[in-house]
Amino acid sequence: MNMSRFTETFMVMLGRDPKKPEQVSEAVRQTMTLKYQDKDRFVQEKLHTRASHRPSHEWRNRRWAVLIAVNLLFVLSFWLDIQMLEGSLTASRFVGFHLIDLNSALQVMLAHKHIIVNLFIGTFTVFLLWVLLGGRSFCSWVCPYHLLSELAEMLHLKLVEKKRVTDHEFHRLTRTVFWVLFGLMAIVTGYTVFETLSPTGILSRALIYGPGLALGWVFLLLVFEVVYSRRAWCRYVCPIGLTYGAVGAISPLQVSFRVEHCFHEGDCRKVCLVPHVLDVTVKGRATDMNMGLGPDCTRCGLCIDVCPTGALGYEVKGLSRLL
């Protein structure tokens, strides 16, 4: 990814709307020309592919299995006292290695108004882990609230289809504003305000140590997402996603898009938590033949499951496609 593309995707993650590219590669231009020279054939191929394709839930099921397994390991380690994965998602220890959530560590240091050296051991380990796996993979593959919110989204979409509720969107810049606000509140109050409100931390601690009144806040968030705004917390509020998105900007693991295989039908954008990362799948928006989806992609695999032509898939930068 060149620097201009890197800067563009990073700014889009912060909240700027994707822009139509001013220039595309000659290979892309030729590919798009060939696609539409025989428009009737292209339409027939598209209709045939859509009719024969059955969306799978392969990656979704794998992701749910990993997410449940990770959180269950926390529970079993505590209740069986096996010292495998101790603590919670905020701060833990895996077979002796300290792991501290990057956003939590940032909030603590802002609240204490100085750099805490002891935090660096745990945060460095986590930083390396999510650099390798893709920063926002944490959201879709580990965060327990993501799973509940995904289930709430299914109910929300059914209600929208039946016209019982209407989906309301907010500007994506609100997430960046909340990221700044939570940081300022930590500095001003000397208290990690976000950790009190974070459904990720609340659910993780409730699973391990038992439920508490804070689960009422999680329930209210889910109700809000069911009846008013689809995936509102993850899309418009949670600073964890933005923090890990910054880490994911340098990750070699990504979901990539191959323009020559795409019919531009848009099914991938309909299922995506962050559809702006799939702006490259819109006709005329891809600048290169093979493009990563950018740092805000959660690597959840929903777009891969639904894509009828294999235009989307996991890839390590500089290597051939993995899956």
Domain boundary among 221, 246, 271: 246
Task: Note the pLDDT of residue 114.
Answer: 81
Q: Is residue 141 part of a domain?
A: yes
Q: Name which residue leads in pLDDT, 289 or 37.
A: 289
Q: What is the pLDDT of residues 214-262, one digit of tens each?
A: 999 999 999 999 999 999 999 999 999 999 999 988 899 999 999 988 8
Task: Note the pLDDT of residue 34.
Answer: 76
In the predicted model, is pLDDT for residue 1 greater than 70?
A: no
Judgement on whether residues 198 and 307 belong to the same structural domain of the protein: no
Judgement on whether residues 177 and 163 belong to the same structural domain of the protein: yes
Judgement on whether residues 288 and 173 belong to the same structural domain of the protein: no
Judgement on whether residues 175 and 310 belong to the same structural domain of the protein: no
Judgement on whether residues 105 and 230 belong to the same structural domain of the protein: yes
Q: What is the pLDDT of residues 113-169, one digit of tens each?
A: 887 777 788 898 899 999 999 889 999 999 999 999 999 999 999 999 999 999 999
What is the total count of domains within the chain?
A: 2
Q: Is residue 268 part of a domain?
A: yes
Task: Note the pLDDT of residue 321.
Answer: 62
Q: Is residue 271 part of a domain?
A: yes
Judgement on whether residues 293 and 169 belong to the same structural domain of the protein: no
Q: Is residue 121 part of a domain?
A: yes
Q: What is the pLDDT of residues 169-227, one digit of tens each?
A: 999 999 999 999 999 999 999 999 999 999 999 999 999 999 999 999 999 999 999 99
Q: What is the 3-state secondary structure (H, E, C) of the chain?
A: CCHHHHHHHHHHHHCCCCCCCCCCCHHHHHHHHHHHHCHHHHHHHHHHHHHHCCCCCHHHHHHHHHHHHHHHHHHHHHHCCCCCEEECCCEEEECCEEEECHHHHHHHHHHHCCCCHHHHHHHHHHHHHHHHHCCCHHHHHCCHHHHHHHHHHHHHHHHHHCCCCCCCCCCCHHHHHHHHHHHHHHHHHCCCHHHHHCHHHHHHHHHHHCCCCCHHHHHHHHHHHHHCCCCHHHHHHCHHHHHHHHHHCCCCEEEEEEHHHCCCCCHHHHHCCCHHHHHHHCCCCCCCCEEECCCCCCCCCHHHHHCCCCCEEEEECCCCECC
Task: Note the pLDDT of residue 23.
Answer: 83
Domain boundary among 246, 275, 293: 246
Judgement on whether residues 266 and 203 belong to the same structural domain of the protein: no
Q: Is residue 75 part of a domain?
A: yes
Judgement on whether residues 126 and 219 belong to the same structural domain of the protein: yes
The parent domain of residue 181 ranges over 67-246
Task: Note the pLDDT of residue 320.
Answer: 63
In the predicted model, is pLDDT for residue 323 greater than 60?
A: no
Q: What is the pLDDT of residues 31-44, one digit of tens each?
A: 887 777 766 666 66
Domain boundary among 206, 223, 246: 246
Q: Is residue 322 part of a domain?
A: no
Q: Is residue 289 part of a domain?
A: yes
Judgement on whether residues 168 and 297 belong to the same structural domain of the protein: no
pTM over 0.85: yes
Judgement on whether residues 76 and 175 belong to the same structural domain of the protein: yes
Q: Is residue 61 part of a domain?
A: no
Judgement on whether residues 210 and 83 belong to the same structural domain of the protein: yes
Task: Note the pLDDT of residue 283.
Answer: 87
Judgement on whether residues 73 and 190 belong to the same structural domain of the protein: yes
